[in-house]
Homo-oligomer: A and B are copies of this chain.
Amino acid sequence: MSEIRWDPLKGVWVIVDRERGRRLQEFLLEQPAPRVEFCPFCYGNESRTPPEIDAVRPERQPPDTPGWQVRVIPNRHPVLAIEGDLDPRGHGLYDRVNGVGAHEIVIENPDHDRDLADFAPQELVAVLHTWQRRLNDLRRDTRFRAICLFRNQGPLAGADIPHPHSQIIALPLIPPLMAAELHNCRDHFSRKERCLLCDLLRQELHTETGIVHDDGHFVALVPYASGRPFELRLVPRRHEHDFVRVGEDELLALAEVLRNVLARLRQALRTPSYRLYLRTAPPQHTRFGRPNYWTSLAHDYHWYLEIHPCLARGTGIEQATGVPVNLVAPEDAAAFLRGENPAQKR
């Protein structure tokens, strides 16, 4: 019997198939091999990318040369352009804004083949620092309402270039997924003066069934109402709405838990493709120099990381209705990632 579960953070019902006995093989999709071709992200090819915006490299080394540890460049084919003022206009019942935004690539390591799970902790911290610097820089641009960071890993996630990299997109609007979480956190806090994510974390820790890893700083868990097989959240125990404000110690702990969780996924799901998202509060800077509706919601938020492995193909029901169908019960996925054999357990 399947179950329908409500996620109060995202504000969606998800269908969870609780049928037992499906084999993991049914969820693993064949992954096309990456095409072996020229990699613009490798050492020596710096002149083949747009000029770098930021880099972690030895002092006095010139930009756009080898020797960097992390390198940030504009996306060569950005969907939004960095130039121009916002020019929002009505168009009858519709609206339009010119496509102003930023679309950047964070090249996370010189090593073309390095899996994020195999980064040394300090290498990963250098990436996390770079994420913070770019978010901090982009949020000063008052044209941008939201800055979203994501990472497509593997061919099924649409990563055309296998070299480790993440992407940052700055938007002149609050995107729907962020809007829903901000609203739901605000609703909860305004009624209870408690953070929704803190409360959800407390419940998951009490129930235990969804917990994959807990090091005292971060909890990795498969949420009770997750809409995708093996969906994971990495939630900091300390309440903080803004990833940019996270300090050195916590970043190091985050690097460790990320390595741990990615290694578990790789082991359990045979090097799956996945998507990783940073969820953090929107910037406080606004176009008219004063707080607005969205900035007022920021402090009720709680930043976290989300990982979506790309596994079983959809049924078409999610596209038709917006209701995800999760063919692996979250508690089973968590047990599997903890290394337990769920078939033996019950």
Binding site for B on A (CB under 8 A): 1-8, 12-13, 15-18, 79-81, 84, 91-99, 146, 148, 150, 152, 157-158, 167, 169, 171-173, 175-178, 196, 199-200, 203, 206-207, 224-225, 275, 277, 308, 313-317, 319-323, 325
Q: How far is the CA of A202 from the CA of B76 in the complex (A)?
A: 39
A175 & B2 in contact (Cβ 8 Å cutoff)? no
On whether the beta carbons of A171 and B316 are closer than 8 Å, the reply is no
Residues of B close to A6: CB separation below 8 A: 94-96
Task: Give Cα A54–Cα B79 distance, bound, in whole angstroms.
Answer: 48
Measured between alpha carbons, how far is A288 from B84 in the docked complex, in Å? 55
Closest chain B CB from A139 CB (angstroms): 16
Contact A316 B3 (CB under 8 A): no
| Closest 9 pairs (CB-CB, A-B) | A2-B99, A175-B321, A6-B95, A176-B322, A150-B320, A177-B322, A92-B203, A4-B97, A175-B323
Residues A4 and B173 in contact, CB atoms below 8 Å apart: yes
Are B94 and A225 in contact, CB atoms less than 8 angstroms apart? yes
Q: How far, in Å, is A315 (CB) from chain B's closest CB?
A: 6
Cβ–Cβ contact A2 & B80, under 8 A: yes
- Docked-complex contact B79 and A319, CB < 8 angstroms: no
CB-CB under 8 A from A167, the residues of chain B are 316
From DSSP, what is the main secondary structure of chain A's interface residues? mixed
A323 — which chain B residues lie within 8 A by C-beta?
Answer: 171, 173, 175-176
Whether the pair A95, B5 counts as a contact (CB closer than 8 A) is: yes
Q: Which residue of B lies closest to A86 (CB)?
A: B4
Closest Cβ of chain B to A333, distance in Å, is 16
**Known contacts being A94-B224, A199-B93, A203-B93, is A158 close to B2, with CB within 8 Å?**
no
- Chain B residue at smallest Cβ distance from A275: B319
**Contact A8:B93 (CB < 8 A) given known A79-B325, A321-B171:** yes
Contacts of A172 in B (CB 8 A): 4
Closest B residue, CB atoms, query A84: B1
Please tell me which one of the listed residues B3, B94, B175, B203 contacts residue A7 in the complex, with CB atoms under 8 A apart: B94
Give the distance in Å from the alpha carbon of A124 to the alpha carbon of B18 in the complex.
37
Beyond the given A15-B79, A92-B207, A148-B320, could you list 9 further A-B residue pairs with CB under 8 A, ordered by the A residue number?
A: A2-B79, A2-B99, A13-B173, A146-B321, A150-B316, A150-B319, A150-B320, A169-B320, A275-B320
Cβ contacts under 8 Å, A148 to chain B: 317, 320-321
Cα of A80 to Cα of B148 in the assembled complex, Å: 35
Q: Which residues of B contact A321 (CB under 8 A)?
A: 146, 148, 169, 171, 175-178
A98 x B322 contact (CB < 8 A) = no
Tell me, in angstroms, the Cα distance from A321 to B182 when the chains sit together. Answer: 13
Contact call B169/A99, Cβ cutoff below 8 A: no
Q: Kindly list chain B residues whose C-beta atoms are within 8 Å of the C-beta of A99.
A: 1-4, 15-18
A-B contact pairs, 27 of them (CB 8 A): A1-B81, A1-B99, A2-B79, A2-B81, A3-B97, A3-B99, A4-B172, A5-B91, A6-B95, A8-B93, A13-B173, A18-B99, A79-B317, A79-B325, A91-B224, A93-B200, A94-B203, A148-B317, A150-B319, A150-B320, A158-B315, A169-B317, A169-B320, A171-B321, A175-B322, A177-B320, A275-B320
Tell which of A81, A96, A169, A320 has the most Cβ of chain B within 10 Å. A320
